[in-house]
Amino acid sequence: MASRFQDVQQGPPIEVFQMNKMFTEDPDQNKINLSVGAYRDEQGKPWVLPVVRKMEKQMAADETLLHEYLPVLGLDQFTAAATSMLLGADNPAISAGRAFGVQTLSGTGGLRVGAEFLNKHLGYTSFYYSTPTWENHHLVFVNSGFTSPHSYRYWNPKTRAIDFDGFIEDLRSAPANSVILLHACAHNPTGIDPTHEQWEKIADVMEEGKLFPFFDSAYQGFASGDLDRDAWAVRYFVKRGFELVCAQSFAKNFGLYNERVGNLTIVLNDASLVAPVKSQLTWIVRGMYSNPPAHGARVVANVLSDKMLFDLWREHIRTMASRVISMRESLRAELIKLNTPGNWDHIVNQIGLFSYTGLTQKQSEYLVQQYHIYLLKSGRINVCGLNPSNVQYLARAINDAVSKFPAEDDPRAKL
């Protein structure tokens, strides 16, 4: 009998996870994993943050902790701590009771719950994301009911910097009530954030055009090593009086990738609307996954609400951020030492986990095939995949790739 499933077509692989798998399975001694955005220490190993380990041991020994269901919108202690980490504990929106959080399945879950809410309850259908952006943004919004996807210009491949005029022009042409997806800090994949003056201009144009800001904050603390500095843009929009939502991930800054700890912060301009909005969010979560998991949220909540643990965690963040910064410097220095064609200043000017190297697809593929160096075909590298013992190998490989395949050979160079 023919299967009911016979017409199901094979879907394409997810590039970032495919690269990660290819790396894991590659027996080569010199292989380097620069694909998935996850922190690696000086030895190239994943790092369980000591404060997380400490908290997990404490929790394992605590006989009073149960595995009962959490409320649909999550652990209150966690959502309150996460919201105040984003907005600042003294933010007037919090004291006025018009800002709150919903626990979500990491940042992606926050994007999904937020987008579905905006679509279902405010009737929004049009959204704008940067070119380029994290490859999952488009899919999450479309799956949430958004029917008009658009992109705004962001990266200028010629200058390897932000295309600010293009960005503003595209915002100006967006219809009212479009949702504008903005990276709160450490833009993925380019590592280039707008300056404060540029954010002010973005806010002006969005206010004039009645556009709705949806921030994605996956790297708070990772960009500069400073939680407050990395939240500047979101806090600025709140101060300007915008109503907004922000999906927060604790995957990177707590190293809790597989625990799916996230928060959707929602800021309204009227505290009396919090109850109805929360009630509708409850039904969205109920219909999607019913209620969130507790473990990671407890870890984060306990660390954020204990001064000593919080300070320890901030030290861990600084350790991670400064290691990334120093590897950027080493990579640039090695490329210059080898007289590698081109200018490599953008590597140190970009921030966060990623560098958008400017390597073409052909050059990137060559690094994978010839050198066992795994990166995305867009040329994005996870900088903390580098350490003092592999950075020279990468620089030599890049030098070879750009010498062998000058950028003009790449079809994208002609775009």
Binding site for ligand LMR (CB under 6 A): 16, 36-37, 134, 188
Shortest separation between residue 293's beta carbon and ligand LMR, angstroms: 18
Between 14 and 122, whose beta carbon lies closer to ligand LMR?
14
**Strand 354-356 to 380-382 pairing:** antiparallel
Q: How far apart are CA 255 and CA 86, in angstroms?
A: 18
Shortest separation between residue 395's beta carbon and ligand LMR, angstroms: 22
Q: How far apart are CA 144 and CA 112, in angstroms?
A: 6
Question: DSSP strand E in 196-325: where?
Answer: 212-217, 244-249, 261-267
Helix residue spans in 26-129 (DSSP H): 50-61, 76-87, 92-95, 106-122
* Contact assessment for residue 383 and residue 320, using Cβ atoms and an 8 Å cutoff: no
Q: How far apart are CA 305 and CA 103, in angstroms?
A: 16
- DSSP 8-state symbol, 256: -
* Contact assessment for residue 231 and residue 184, using Cβ atoms and an 8 Å cutoff: yes
Shortest separation between residue 376's beta carbon and ligand LMR, angstroms: 8
Between 251 and 402, whose beta carbon lies closer to ligand LMR?
251
Q: Would you name the residues annotated as active-site residues? A: 134, 216, 252
For residue 312, the one-letter residue type is: L
Shortest separation between residue 175's beta carbon and ligand LMR, angstroms: 29
Q: Residue 42, Cβ neighbours under 10 Å: how many?
A: 14
Between 16 and 51, whose beta carbon lies closer to ligand LMR?
16
Between 100 and 354, whose beta carbon lies closer to ligand LMR?
354
Between 35 and 126, whose beta carbon lies closer to ligand LMR?
35
Q: What is the number of the residue whose Cβ is closest to ligand LMR?
A: 37
User: What are 191's two structure tokens?
Assistant: 């590592």
Q: How far apart are CA 303 and CA 295, in angstroms?
A: 13
Shortest separation between residue 188's beta carbon and ligand LMR, angstroms: 5
User: What are 337's two structure tokens?
Assistant: 């030492």
User: What are 391's two structure tokens?
Assistant: 């950075």
Q: Is the dihedral of CA 185, 191, 196, 200 positive or negative?
A: negative
Shortest separation between residue 378's beta carbon and ligand LMR, angstroms: 11
Shortest separation between residue 37's beta carbon and ligand LMR, angstroms: 3
Between 42 and 135, whose beta carbon lies closer to ligand LMR?
135
Mind giving me the DSSP string for 192-227? Answer: ----HHHHHHHHHHHHHTT-EEEEEES-TTTTTS-H
Max CA separation in the chain (angstroms)? 66
Say whether 287 sits in a helix, a strand or coil: helix
Q: Residue 401, Cβ neighbours under 10 Å: how many?
A: 22
Between 36 and 338, whose beta carbon lies closer to ligand LMR?
36
Q: Residue 153, Cβ neighbours under 10 Å: how many?
A: 17
